[in-house]
Structure 1
């Protein structure tokens, strides 16, 4: 049996995963396509502006707060282990932490840094933008799918 506190942690983690999934889904499904329709210099400038603007308390609360909830829920089920719920919570947490936090740090942030460093109006800038649109969106899609799977697993753990 899951304690009330752990239940709330798992429920909040599921909600957080859904919120983060929605953010990443929007980028993969239409924001990046819209930016790709712009001339490369404009697309790069817009994405760089987004990458600066995303560093804000609301996004950080959703993104890193959900990671903290994953860790807290995992600790909670570890204290009162039940095979099914515990396994689902741990799996959901690992998927979120690797698929969102890990992919962000290892894939999306380096691409963002390269985009920030490129000189606008150069062939290198145009080439990077073309590659960026494809690679960044692919890794962002991983970041969208991971929290959806985590939300499903957290919900299943509650049932």
Structure 2
């Protein structure tokens, strides 16, 4: 059982790190760019993040948390699961549609990048990223406490 809880904790921590990187580095850096650079850079990052390492982390975390919860039922683990489930819902409901629309807009060299950037709604994307960072970060802390028995 400890191995499953360790895996859940590590995967949740890794996912939290990705959300944190967007909040404190990527989106502030993108905000300082011109429209063409913003669209091109975000499209490239969004294409690159869909890879086995990230998908195992992002989707493996709730599976591992649930497995840990079944093996060692407790309010900490199931609270962490609920929080991480909120992260998945936010990602599917907010981030994926915005990301997909930006990618589908086409080549930044030939589209109206200013209109595409406005339609992307950066502030909304970032606000909800902060929410998923808080939720996943709290889940990570709860799992850490469950792991250490504190």
Query: TM-score band, normalised by the shorter chain?
Result: 0.7 to 0.9
What's the TM-score once normalised by structure 2's chain length? 0.87
Distance 1:92 1:112, change over 3 A: same
| Greater Cα shift, 66-75 or 22-31 | 66-75
Secondary structure of 2:72's partner? helix
2:119 is aligned with 1:128: yes
For 1:142, which of 124, 131, 139 is the aligned residue? Answer: 131
Alignment partner of 1:12 is 2:7: yes
Q: 1:11: Cα distance to partner?
A: 2.1
Show the 5 A alignment for 1:10-159: 10-78=5-73, 86-98=74-86, 100-118=87-105, 120-121=111-112, 123-129=114-120, 131=121, 133-158=122-147, 159=149
Kept in 1, the 8 Å contact 2:36–2:114? The answer is: no
The number of residues matched between the two structures is 144
For residues 93-122 of structure 1, the C-alpha deviation after alignment (integer angstroms, 9 at most, x for no partner) is 110121x21111111001112212336325
Structure-2 separation of matches of 1:66 and 1:123: 36
Quote the offset at 1:143 in angstroms.
1.8
Structure 1: runs of 5 or more not aligned: 79-85
TM-score normalized by the length of structure 1: 0.83
Deviations 1:59-90 (A, max 9, x none): 11111111210121122124xxxxxxx11110
- The 1-side partners of 2:76 and 2:114 are apart by 48
Shift of 1:43: 0.4
